[in-house]
Amino acid sequence: MKRKITLKQIARELDVSISTVSKALSNSKEISEDTTQKIQAFAKLYNYKANNIALSLKNRKTKTIGILIPEIVHHFFSTVIRGIERVANRRGYNVIVGLSNESFTKEIINMEMLANGSIDGIILSISKETLLKQDYHHFNATINQGIPIVMFDRVVNEVDCDKVIVDDFNGAVKAVKKLVENGCKNIALITTMDYVSVGRLRTQGYLEALGLSGIEANSNLILKIDDSLDVENHLDILETEITQFFKANPNIDGLFAVNELYAVSAMKVARKLGLTIPDDMQVIGFTDGVLSKHATPSLTTVSQHGQKMGEQSANLLIDRLEAEDNDNEQYFTNNPKDHDFIKVVIETEIIERESTK
């Protein structure tokens, strides 16, 4: 087994100094053509590559960005990762992944792990428990350490950083408006508890659209699911709740759900209750994942553009990272730029499928 070769070994082997080797390999014109050739040939032969760790230590930057998300077995989040990874790699960065598993504590531990020199910046989406606790000190702490953060999807006003979100409010408005246009009179909503910002915004959009259409909101037609406790039989509970909801409100002829799982589950329940979709009830979900595409009937959704969110987040972060490189001093004192945080809003669009007319 041949360990990776280092500058030192090349230097010894070729009987030159380490710095000569270093310069030759970076094509410095300080070094004569002869030695450069010799050194480069040797390096190539032994497949020399500079050690990343040493470079990181020297340059005080790792060229890797951390991702911290609540869950990876989730189409939306993996889509975002893919987007981040694409632009990160293109721009010469690596990607390191931490999972909070929706837990406040694990989010903090992971942040500290990452912030301890492993990464130059972080892209994250806040865990549910953190949202519930409303304790964001760990984010501010890392930012204060000089590690820029970009938040996506589940963001929060209390933290000053770049953000990438989807237009949850208007996405919901569009969806509900569409249901109204399609002739629905009693439009129900299945949503999450309010502490998840995206759920709250989508709920507001639902109410707004009803208002605009001159329909009075009816709180009976709103079902709030509490999925904070991640129990085994979550799915059964979900279906039971929806069943009761539908039975209590047999007049529902349109449904907007804030995610695709709720929408697909609702369709399943509706079918079991003998309803035909979209004839008896039209359904629109949020987030365009595999489920939407392959459900029966396939689901009309408000697309969330996860990959695009990832790409934007990565670009935002790397832009800021490389901006620091240039105007170092200014940037870190009390330059106004410090507070010019960008909020990118990605437009949603409705992808029509079979669950609406």
Is 85 a binder of a second copy (CB under 8 A)? yes
Residue type, 71: E
Q: Which is nearer to a second copy, 77 or 206 (CB)?
A: 77
Partner whose binding site includes residue 90, from a second copy, DNA, none (CB under 5 to 8 Å by kind):
none
Smallest separation, CB 204 to a second copy (Å): 28
Is 252 a binder of a second copy (CB under 8 A)? no
Is 56 a binder of a second copy (CB under 8 A)? yes
Q: Report the residue count for the chain.
A: 357
If you search the block for the tokens 């669950």, which residue do you land on? 355
Smallest separation, CB 59 to DNA (Å): 7
Q: Which is nearer to a second copy, 72 or 212 (CB)?
A: 72
User: DSSP alpha helices (H): ranges in the chain?
Assistant: 7-14, 18-25, 33-45, 52-59, 75-90, 104-113, 128-133, 137-144, 168-181, 197-212, 234-248, 260-272, 290-294, 306-326, 328-332
Q: How far apart are CA 70 and CA 48, in angstroms?
A: 39
Q: Which of 18, 95, 350, 351 binds a second copy (CB under 8 A)?
A: 95
Beta-bridge partner residues of 166: 346
Point out which residues bind DNA (CB under 7 A). Answer: 6-8, 15-20, 22-23, 25-26, 29-36, 48-51, 54-55, 57-58, 60
Q: Which is nearer to DNA, 29 or 339 (CB)?
A: 29
Residue type, 304: Q
Is 339 a binder of a second copy (CB under 8 A)? no
Q: How far apart are CA 48 and CA 58, in angstroms?
A: 18
User: DSSP alpha helices (H): ranges in 182-226?
Assistant: 197-212
Q: Which is nearer to a second copy, 205 or 310 (CB)?
A: 310
Smallest separation, CB 314 to DNA (Å): 25
Q: Which part of the chain contacts a second copy (CB under 8 A), choosing from 16-24, 76-84, 168-176, 181-189? A: 76-84
Smallest separation, CB 7 to DNA (Å): 3
Is 231 a binder of a second copy (CB under 8 A)? no
Query: 155: closest CA among 342, 303, 318, 348?
Result: 342
Neighbours of 197 (CB within 10 A): 18
For 151, list phi and psi in degrees, rounded to 5: -105, 145
Return residues touching a second copy (CB under 8 A).
Answer: 1-4, 47, 49-54, 56-57, 62, 64, 72-75, 78-79, 81-82, 85, 94-99, 112-118, 141, 144-146, 235, 264-265, 268, 271, 290-291, 293-296, 332
